[in-house]
Amino acid sequence: MSSSSAAALPPTCRALRQKVYGEAPVVEEIRTPQAVPGTAVVKIEMAAIATFMKRIYDGTLQYPYPTPLTLGGSALGHIAALPVDSTQLRVGQLVLVDCVVRSRDQPAADVFLANIHSGYTDGSRKLMADAWKDVGTFAEYAGVPLENCTAIDEERMLGGKESGGLGYQVEDLAMLFKMLVPWGGLRSVGVTAGETVIVAPATGGFSGAAVKMALAMGAGKVVAMGRNEAALERVVAESGGRVVGVRITGSFEEDLAGLVAACGKTGEADVFFDISPPSAWESSHLKAAIYALRPGGRVGLMGGQCEDVKFPYSRIMTRNIKLFGKWMYDQSDIRALIQMAESGILKLRGGEGTGCKGVFGLDQWQEGSSVAESEGGKGTVLVKP
């Protein structure tokens, strides 16, 4: 498919750029990307500001990435131009632009997060620095890998209910970004209908989304763990009776007793999904949740721990418990999640942790990133270039 709209692209566009690592980004005029083979040009409608982005780009988190670069993450936009090797996408189509970029000849190992983290291998670092350093979505136009564009049925998602649509606004679709991370992890451990799933913690942005995803996947019960009792109560209240809250106390014995009681008659769960932050590497919930699993239970690990974590080796071995690690998600996960949303099974609006908390222009980065840091866990915060 040739690029039928390439001639209509403006010669330049505005983008939020960082010249030196850790320095404040500035809006610059850059050359508009072109639809060379393997690259789609997307007119960005909305891009997500993650809760931790301010700390990424001011250097606090020390995420590795090359500079200069255009900032950004996952986004929503319309295809503006396509290269000759595109056979499926169409100019004008609404797409989800995914920030997880994989090597085309080593996709399982060489992976990086566009404009955020150069990954963990020499291959991923080379890929970001040499090929895809400027795929930033905090720009009017972005040139992104073809395979990172997944089509969305715009008529179905944004159309009025009177015509068979779901009645969403574009900003509502940004919840897909937040849902994708736990969806990839929960799908990897094979959550099935009727199972009891422990989610810990369950009151943050991604972790709260994990509760919603487990329910949408058919979990019979979700046991939501957290330290904040008020937040837990809100998660439980909106669940329709399928979520039970258990407070993380700091005591293995107390956590386990709470989990056993919450799991019901058997006192056991099928799945423990951990999505805890780096600070939780010694948390009491880790051991307690593993002890609460039935024989043959599964553990999904998607947390941010950088330190080595202690696991109850004998308990895992003697009860045939399986451990699954998952970093982010795969391309097949994206298509499957969008299909769930298009079908109406997965709700993107309503309930704790949903809704747009602010939309900001490129020149409002400081304000937008601050709002994302304080409010992003309660919904989405977006850039509209």
Q: Which tokens sit at 221?
A: 């019960």
Res 353: pLDDT: 66
Whole-number Å distance between alpha carbons of 233 and 4:
53
Strand ranges inside the chain, DSSP E:
12-18, 26-31, 39-48, 69-70, 75-81, 94-97, 100-102, 111-113, 141-145, 149-151, 196-200, 221-226, 243-247, 269-274, 293-301, 322-325, 356-360, 380-383
Residue with tokens 């897909």: 176
Pairing status of strand 39-48 against strand 380-383? antiparallel
16 and 361 in contact (C-beta within 8 Å)? no
State whether the Cα torsion 210-181-340-196 is positive or negative. Answer: negative
Per-residue burial over 60-94, b = 16 or more CB atoms within 10 Å of its CB, e = otherwise: eeebebeeebbbbbbbbbebbbbbeebeebebebb
Res 113: pLDDT: 96
Q: Which tokens sit at 131?
A: 């090929």
Per-residue pLDDT tens, the chain, 385 aa: give them.
344 445 589 999 999 999 999 999 999 999 999 999 999 999 999 999 999 999 999 999 999 999 999 999 999 999 999 999 999 999 999 999 999 999 999 999 999 999 999 999 999 999 999 999 878 999 999 999 999 999 999 999 999 999 999 999 999 999 999 999 999 999 999 999 999 999 999 988 888 899 999 999 999 999 999 998 988 998 898 777 899 999 999 999 999 999 999 999 999 999 999 999 887 778 899 999 999 999 999 999 999 877 888 899 999 999 999 999 999 999 999 999 999 999 999 999 876 667 899 999 999 999 999 999 998 888 899 999 9
Res 133: pLDDT: 82
Q: What domains, with CATH codes, occur in the chain?
A: 6-168+349-383 (3.90.180.10), 179-325 (3.40.50.720)
Rounded to the nearest 5 degrees, what angle is found at the Cα of 375, between the Cα atoms of 255 and 285? 10
Res 1: pLDDT: 39
Res 2: pLDDT: 43
Res 124: pLDDT: 97
